[in-house]
Amino acid sequence: MKIRLCYSSQRNDEGDDLLQDLRDILTEARDFNTRHQIYGVLYYADNAFFQCLEGEKNAVERIFEKIIADSRHHSVKHISSYVIEQFSFKKWSMKYVQRETNIEYFFLQLGENNFNPSCLNEQSLTPFLQELLIAEQSKIPVGLKKVGMLNRGVNPF
């Protein structure tokens, strides 16, 4: 049985390097998910994660147990799990989308000034997933020094 599971969480930012954390998470996720036919999308902004996992029920539930216990985030809130006929994110072992205007606008319309995935419910989840499906996949810059980012006052994440 195929399912889609969605959750939100808050990043643990105790002095760690955000870009390195994201790179590590995506490397682990893509490697494991490829081997276990799991697909999905991860969005990160404003210290919050949203992730959608698709795959066989047992495989998704098993990896979700591990993800819940991961110390790189906390306050994991399970939003929804439901049976699906087809995978929407089959092109990606884990698509990554970084902060983007359409999604900021989507949350503004929900009355949220920041990216606050914990406010998503059964009703708002489907259009949000649609936004993530059509969004461009983002690459995490390699070898970018923290200093460079901070000096420019730019933090796209």
Contact set with ligand FMN (CB under 6 A)? 25, 28-29, 32-33, 42, 49, 51, 53, 63, 66-67, 70, 72-73, 94
Q: What gap in Å lies between CA 88 and CA 64, rounded to an integer?
A: 18
- Nearest to ligand FMN of 108, 114 (CB atom): 114
- Nearest to ligand FMN of 75, 109 (CB atom): 75
Closest distance of CB 49 from ligand FMN, Å: 4
Which helix (DSSP H) or strand (DSSP E) does residue 54 occupy?
strand 48-56
- Nearest to ligand FMN of 72, 104 (CB atom): 72
Among 24, 14, 26, smallest CA distance to 51 is for 26
Q: What is the DSSP string of 99-124?
A: --HHHHHHHHHTT-SS--GGG--HHH
Closest distance of CB 122 from ligand FMN, Å: 22
Exposed, middle or buried, 126 (CB in 10 Å: 0-12/13-18/19+)?
Answer: exposed
Closest distance of CB 154 from ligand FMN, Å: 23
Exposed, middle or buried, 22 (CB in 10 Å: 0-12/13-18/19+)?
Answer: buried
| Spatial CB neighbours of 82, under 8 Å, sequence gap ≥ 6 | 3, 4
Closest distance of CB 151 from ligand FMN, Å: 28
Closest distance of CB 147 from ligand FMN, Å: 25
- Nearest to ligand FMN of 4, 73 (CB atom): 73
- Nearest to ligand FMN of 2, 105 (CB atom): 2
